[in-house]
């Protein structure tokens, strides 16, 4: 004798319908944002790199030749007396320009003023060296003028190799060192930023392409469900 149908108790297991996969995500907003960030990073990196290259180019374009805009005011062989037409009340740096060694020359200098009297020369630590235009540049002394006129500079060094001595504006030497360091940092930052921007742009473009493919697939499924032929893109 058949039993009347009994509904399942609440909470009892019931068979489920067929599994339906979740619809694919089709929003392209995140992909567009990522692509835009990558393109902007790439543009900024290129600008930063160009600025750094320009600074390096300006810093190494004849910075050691006595001329307008150069850090070097006077220059000559270290084994010969160097004359300088100096202004009154200015401080000048003496630097060595060595094309054959990256070490300091261990030099001292004697400076004679326009009146024939010696000028006080202060030694400067030579531990900082700049590599510029094929020369190792080291500041080894400085002096301050009292009156305007022609000053004579005689260098004393135990180094027998040929090297040049130059008179430079201390501010110009500091600016040259700063421009070299900043230029290198900007170029490195530009290269790294360009790489990051390129990766983000490619990732955003791939993400965008996947989402657009999902949109076409959903549109085709919906069109087929309503009896319309799938659209072509």
- pLDDT, tens digit, 9 for 90 and up, residues 66-125: 655 567 788 899 889 999 988 888 889 898 888 887 677 778 899 999 999 999 999 887
In a domain, 159, yes or no: yes
- My answer on whether 149 and 175 are in the same domain is no
- My answer on whether 145 and 114 are in the same domain is yes
Per-residue pLDDT at 121: 93
In a domain, 152, yes or no: yes
Q: Is 132 exposed, middle or buried (0-12, 13-18, 19+ CB in 10 A)?
A: middle
Q: How many domains does the chain have?
A: 3
- My answer on whether 98 and 185 are in the same domain is no
Per-residue pLDDT at 233: 46
Structural domain of residue 57, as residue ranges? 35-64
- My answer on whether 182 and 140 are in the same domain is no
- My answer on whether 132 and 152 are in the same domain is yes
One digit per residue, the tens of pLDDT, for the chain of length 233 reads 555 656 655 555 555 555 555 566 667 777 788 888 888 988 898 888 888 887 777 666 656 666 555 677 888 998 899 999 888 888 898 988 888 876 777 788 999 999 999 999 998 876 667 777 778 888 889 999 989 999 999 998 887 788 889 898 766 666 666 777 788 888 898 889 888 988 988 888 888 888 777 777 777 766 665 555 555 54
Last residue of some domain: 168, 184, 218? 168
The model's pTM:
0.51
In a domain, 228, yes or no: no
């Amino acid at each position: 004798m058949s039993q009347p149908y009994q509904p399942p108790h609440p909470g009892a297991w019931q068979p489920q319908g067929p599994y339906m996969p979740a619809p694919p995500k089709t929003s392209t907003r995140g992909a567009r944002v990522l692509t835009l960030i990558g393109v902007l990073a790439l543009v900024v990196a290129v600008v930063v790199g160009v600025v750094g290259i320009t600074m390096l180019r300006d810093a190494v374009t004849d910075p050691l030749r006595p001329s307008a805009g150069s850090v070097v005011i006077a220059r000559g062989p270290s084994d010969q007396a160097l004359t300088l037409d100096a202004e009154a009340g200015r401080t000048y740096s003496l630097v060595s320009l060595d094309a054959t060694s990256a070490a300091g020359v261990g030099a001292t200098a004697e400076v004679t003023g326009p009146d024939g009297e010696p000028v006080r020369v202060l030694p400067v630590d030579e531990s900082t060296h700049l590599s510029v235009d094929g020369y190792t540049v080291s500041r080894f002394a400085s002096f301050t003028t009292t009156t305007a006129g022609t000053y004579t500079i005689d260098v004393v060094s135990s180094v027998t190799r040929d090297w040049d001595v130059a008179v430079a504006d201390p501010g110009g030497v500091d600016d040259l060192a700063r421009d070299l360091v900043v230029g290198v940092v900007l170029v490195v930052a530009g290269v790294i930023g360009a790489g990051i921007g390129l990766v983000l742009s490619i990732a955003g473009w791939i993400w965008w392409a996947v989402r657009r493919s999902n949109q076409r697939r959903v549109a085709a499924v919906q069109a087929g469900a309503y009896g319309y032929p799938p659209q072509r893109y």
